[in-house]
Structure 1
Amino acid sequence: MLSCGFATSVWAQTSIKLGYTGIADFAAGFVAKDKGFFAKHGLDVDFVQIAINSNIPAALLSDSVQVGGPTPTVFLQAVAGGLDLVAIAGTTVTSKSIKGVGVVAKTGEPIKSAHDFEGKVVGVPGIGASLQVLFRQWMKEKGADASKVRFVEVSFPTMNDVLKAGTVDAVVTASPMMDQIIGTGTGYNVASFLSELPEGKPTMLYSTTREWAVSHPTEVVAFRTALAEAASYVESHQDETRQIIGNYIKLPPAALQHVEIAPPAPVLAAAQIYWWIQVMQGQNMLETFPADKELVP
């Protein structure tokens, strides 16, 4: 229960619709909502699930949501395309310890290495999304040619069914969907490639329009503070956090018990985003990028 110490903030709450996709990276946000950290700091946050991550910038622009959780690549492509977005917080970062992000092949497919994906159809949660970019980077570092892979967009909730149907040969996915696919026998993990890439790079961002951030400075600070408090709670309450994740991502109880919770990292620095710019330019995804843009206000 919320303590009386911050009950007065409830009377002056700012309503925020927050667009997210169905992955556990948003665990600290879910906890901030369910455990009252957002409410404590005067925010009434309503989570709105968006199937395809690349649709989040448009939702922000239309004010369907005021804050969204795009991948860094979706965020940067939107900015490069002229949308005036900013990043106000992080979710999680890459880490050698994370095994719950990887590429899962359909059971029966003879895929064992990066080279085996050449000529295959691989489902990704968004064309140009971070997981696709990181997968291509992993293939490149393994000496394989990602240009020989046919990528198709598959939303997280449909990955198990699409893989089972044989529409794709593999999917690039993350916990908890990764756990469900493997747990049901639909697929097997070929590589947890995130553990083989540089550490400390943001996997998802909390973003908004610059106009909203400038006109709501108090809310931005409150949002960051609530996430920081929730992050500390996540680290010391892993089992409860898994149950809270289940309120936002529908999974069988058995799969939910095995969801990997990456260390939350709500504090975001501009330098972390600029690493992504370099990677994307190396994959010919960003021809030019406005150097004077303040990405993290």
Structure 2
Amino acid sequence: MTFVESGFPQHADLIRGGSVDAVVTAEPMLGRMNEASIGYVVTPMVSNFERPLPIFYYISTRDYAKTHPEAIAKFRDALKRGVAFAEANPEKAKAYIAKFTGMPPDLANRIPMPQLMTSSDRPALEETIKMMREQGMLRNSVDVGRLYAQ
């Protein structure tokens, strides 16, 4: 298997044109591809995890985190408040998704809300790295201790 990096908005065109055989995508691209009958869902990636895992991480350099602890704390607080708002107000959250992504509001209303997470633990990062190595997405060893900060 060969992984090819591409932007999420290009996934439908890549499948339709035969440039790739499969994509790992997310909403709203997945919903649009399903509506247009472009390919089919082989497996829902995130729901197959043994436990909830973040599908992305926010990263900064160690130097920035050390010299700007207040900014890091404010960023984390903003994420927590944003997730709390979205969970309490899913309709408003979808309206914001439509507004800030340019997605048609009717499409934003049809996509399922993702499981929003504001933190990760070290075992989750280790599990993510293990999966990436097994899939050939990482060639070198990764020292989780140097990456993970709480």
Q: Which residue of 2 aligns with 1:221?
A: 73
Are residues 184 and 208 of structure 1, via their aligned partners in 2, closer, same or farther at CA, if it must alter by over 3 Å? same
Q: Which residue of 2 aligns with 1:165?
A: 17
Structure 1 residues not aligned, in runs of 5+: 1-148
For the pair 1:295 / 2:148, whether they are aligned, the reply is yes
Return the structure number with greater relative CO, CA threshold 8 A, min gap 6: 1
- How far residue 203 of structure 1 moved from its aligned partner, in angstroms, is 1.0
Runs of 4+ more than 4 Å apart: none
Within 5 Å, which residues of 2 pair with 1:121-136?
Answer: none
Q: Which residue of 2 aligns with 1:24?
A: none
- How far residue 163 of structure 1 moved from its aligned partner, in angstroms, is 2.2
- Kindly indicate which of the two structures has a greater share of residues assigned to helix: 2
Within 5 Å, which residues of 2 pair with 1:1-297?
Answer: 149-283=1-135, 285-290=138-143, 292-293=145-146, 295-297=148-150
- How far residue 201 of structure 1 moved from its aligned partner, in angstroms, is 1.6
Structure 2 residues not aligned, in runs of 5+: none
- How far residue 230 of structure 1 moved from its aligned partner, in angstroms, is 1.3
Query: Is the Cα contact below 8 Å between 1:234 and 1:241 reproduced in 2?
Result: yes
SS at match of 1:189: coil
CA distance in 1, matches of 2:2, 2:121: 34
Query: Is the Cα contact below 8 Å between 2:90 and 2:113 reproduced in 1?
Result: yes
- Whichever residue aligns with residue 274 of structure 1, its letter is E
Indicate the RMSD between aligned Cα atoms, in angstroms.
2.2
Are residues 186 and 292 of structure 1, via their aligned partners in 2, closer, same or farther at CA, if it must alter by over 3 Å? closer
CA distance in 2, matches of 1:153, 1:294: 23
- Whichever residue aligns with residue 24 of structure 2, its letter is V
Q: Say how many residue pairs are matched.
A: 149
- Kindly indicate which of the two structures has a greater share of residues assigned to strand: 1
- How far residue 159 of structure 1 moved from its aligned partner, in angstroms, is 1.5
CA distance in 2, matches of 1:286, 1:186: 32
CA distance in 1, matches of 2:75, 2:87: 19
Normalising by structure 1, report the TM-score.
0.45
Are residues 283 and 163 of structure 1, via their aligned partners in 2, closer, same or farther at CA, if it must alter by over 3 Å? closer
CA distance in 2, matches of 1:247, 1:293: 38
- Whichever residue aligns with residue 180 of structure 1, its letter is R
